[in-house]
């Protein structure tokens, strides 16, 4: 690939990401809202603290609270960088770094494709499929880790194929950054260490050489992650997740929002019954496999993927990436099925996306040459472009990307008319999203009965509660569709399908 090729691909990738971002005036969903809100706090000089709570699994006692105990900080750091440089905490400035990273996807994918195949044409097709990334395309430009993981996945693949001295040190650095982005990326370190040990013990590589590789990987990883692990130990008493083992004992997705967190435990997990435990996990594993085929590979590319996989499987780094993907699927499907089935597996798999593209490109060439229509391989990129456009339209327009932003601005206007002080806390469905729009402390409505919700509101001195009909699963269905006063809840008004209440404090 020439420098000119890479510059063109960067510009295509950058302007496509920028174009998508122009239609996104807010983060759009709770994960991206959280990273944006965390970036705001960092840019304002408050460090890793937050005045929001989106779950109670680490048994918080008050606000402000230590941040990033569940979702990791790299995206917030990137968002904060744009805000600090510009001196503004607007969403437009927060996503500067993400748009720039989006610009790197095209050329890095092209380099990866070219490094693997030695073909400039294949490099170009890989770059274009990276730019028009299908189901990933709406999320590259917002304040989330999709683009981060894709770029780091490209870097990891390129490093494995390089002849750099001490390349395993740089590989460790990249895996450290992946882990700083997502807690589940620790699996990349585990898989690599097992992979190196296997080659040492089974393939009988020189022991000193294997030990050296492992040492460099651990050193690189440690340089990135050791400060964060030390911080977590100091603040939460746990090296990784502040929630500890509670995330293992969920009996449904909404246990994530339980209060008190102590009710999520091994005893309640086992009480749900082994039949339920096994059935849920079997169903989720099947769902994740389908997600891998239809969302990550893409319905249009399944045939090309199968053809390419047969050819590329013998290559070491292809094996490493797909074994890591299988391990990720297994661990998330068995240990964290509810989060995995609601997007975290799709999210975590973004790191594997560059290798999926490389496999697809190889399959395209095999298939089109067999059909004797090799001159039309570029129609695959054209199809990817149109499909990505459709996905973006569905995500941003049809699914109402701006709903939280629009509704929360209106809610804030209504409680301001009621005389709410900015220091007063509100209970909502998306606390970081509310904070990002209003700067008001916000906590999540726990998945409990009304008495328990009021008890939590009292503990955190919340003055207002908003029940959102889109998030009214049991037991909240009994009351959150009502637009009327209930006991200590004084009904104020409704905004679209949300109902605003003032808490009558005794």
Task: Summarize pLDDT for 98-152 with one digit per residue, the tens.
Answer: 999 999 999 999 999 999 999 999 999 999 999 999 999 999 999 999 999 999 9
Output the average pLDDT for the chain: 94
Q: What was the pLDDT predicted at 462? A: 97
Over range 283-305, report the average pLDDT: 91
Query: What pLDDT band is residue 299 in, cutting at 50, 70 and 90?
Result: confident
Confidence at residue 375, expressed as pLDDT on a 0 to 100 scale:
81
Nearest Cα to Cα of residue 288 among 321, 329, 256: 329
Q: What does the pLDDT read at residue 248?
A: 93
Q: Where are the alpha helices (DSSP H) in 252-301?
A: 266-271, 274-291
H or E segment and range at residue 187:
helix 186-201
In 132-185, alpha helices (H): 146-160, 167-181
The Cα–Cα gap between 111 and 158 comes to: 8
Q: What percent of the chain has pLDDT over 70?
A: 99
For residues 181, 265, 238 and 345, what is the CA-based torsion angle, rounded to 10 degrees? Answer: -10
**Nearest of 280, 278, 253 to residue 264 by alpha carbon:** 253
Among 412, 409, 415, 444, CA closest to 428: 444
- pLDDT value of position 387: 95
- CB burial of 354-372 (b: ≥16 within 10 Å; e: otherwise) equals bbbbbbbbbbbbbbbeeee
- Residue 419, Cα to own-chain centre: how many angstroms? 37
Instruction: Convert the pLDDT of each residue in 325-334 to its tens digit.
Output: 999 999 999 9
Which among 152, 173, 160, 138 has a CA at the least distance from the CA of 109? Answer: 152
The string of pLDDT tens digits covering residues 250-271 is 999 999 999 999 999 999 999 9
Residues 57-101: tens digit of each pLDDT: 999 999 999 999 999 999 999 999 999 999 999 999 999 999 999
Instruction: Write the pLDDT tens digit of every residue in 141-180.
Output: 999 999 999 999 999 999 999 999 899 999 999 999 999 9
Burial class (CB in 10 A: 0-12, 13-18, 19+), 474: exposed
Domain boundaries, the chain: 145-242, 403-503
Q: What share of the chain is helix, strand, coil (3-state, %, to 5)?
A: 70, 5, 25
pLDDT band, very low/low/confident/very high, at 298 (cuts 50, 70, 90): confident
Cis bond before residue 475 (omega within 30° of 0):
yes
Per-residue pLDDT tens digits for 449-474: 999 999 999 999 999 999 999 998 87
Query: Cβ contacts of residue 263 below 8 Å, gap of 6+?
Result: none
Rg (CA), the chain: 24
């Amino acid at each position: 690939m020439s420098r000119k090729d890479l510059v063109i691909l960067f510009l295509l990738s950058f302007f496509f990401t920028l174009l998508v971002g122009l239609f996104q005036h807010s983060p759009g969903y709770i994960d991206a809202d959280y990273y944006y809100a965390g970036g705001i706090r960092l840019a304002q000089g408050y460090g890793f603290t937050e005045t929001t709570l989106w779950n109670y699994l680490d048994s918080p006692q008050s606000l402000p609270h230590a941040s990033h105990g569940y979702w990791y900080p790299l995206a917030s750091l990137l968002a904060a960088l744009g805000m600090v440089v510009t001196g503004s905490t607007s969403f437009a400035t927060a996503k500067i770094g993400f748009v720039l990273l989006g610009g790197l996807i095209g050329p890095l994918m092209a380099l990866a494709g070219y490094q693997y195949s030695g073909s400039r044409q294949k490099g170009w097709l890989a770059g274009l499929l990276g730019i028009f990334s299908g189901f990933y395309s709406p999320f590259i430009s917002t304040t989330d880790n999709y683009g981060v993981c894709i770029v780091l996945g490209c870097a990891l693949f390129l490093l494995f194929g390089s002849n750099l001295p001490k390349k395993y040190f740089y590989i460790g650095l990249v895996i450290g950054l992946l882990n700083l982005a997502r807690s589940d990326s620790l699996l990349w370190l585990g898989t690599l260490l097992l992979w190196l040990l296997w080659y040492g013990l089974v393939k009988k590589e020189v022991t000193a050489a294997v030990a050296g590789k492992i040492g460099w990987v651990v050193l690189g990883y440690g340089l990135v992650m050791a400060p964060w692990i030390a911080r977590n130990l100091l603040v939460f008493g746990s090296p990784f997740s502040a929630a500890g083992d509670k995330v293992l004992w969920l009996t449904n997705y909404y246990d994530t929002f339980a209060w008190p967190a102590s009710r999520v435990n091994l005893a309640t997990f086992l009480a749900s019954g082994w039949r339920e435990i096994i059935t849920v996990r079997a169903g989720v594993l099947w769902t994740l496999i389908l997600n891998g085929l239809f969302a990550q590979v893409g319905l249009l590319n399944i045939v090309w993927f199968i053809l390419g996989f047969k050819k590329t499987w013998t290559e070491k780094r292809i094996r490493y990436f797909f074994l890591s993907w299988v391990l990720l699927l297994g661990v998330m499907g068995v240990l964290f099925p509810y989060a995995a089935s609601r997007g975290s597996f799709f999210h975590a798999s973004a790191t594997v996306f560059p290798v999926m593209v490389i496999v697809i490109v190889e399959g395209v060439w095999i298939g089109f040459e067999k059909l004797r229509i090799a001159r039309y391989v570029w129609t695959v990129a054209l199809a990817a472009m149109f499909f990505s456009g459709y996905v973006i339209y569905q995500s941003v327009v049809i699914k109402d990307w701006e709903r939280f932003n629009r509704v929360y601005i209106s809610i804030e206007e209504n409680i301001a008319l009621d005389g709410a002080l900015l220091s007063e806390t509100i209970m909502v469905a998306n606390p970081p999203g509310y904070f990002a729009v209003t700067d008001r402390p916000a906590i999540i409505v726990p998945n409990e009965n009304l008495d328990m919700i009021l008890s939590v509101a009292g503990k955190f001195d919340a003055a207002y509660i908003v029940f959102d009909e889109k998030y009214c699963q049991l037991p909240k269905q009994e009351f959150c569709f009502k637009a009327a006063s209930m006991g200590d809840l004084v009904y104020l008004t409704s905004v679209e399908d949300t109902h605003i209440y003032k808490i009558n404090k005794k």
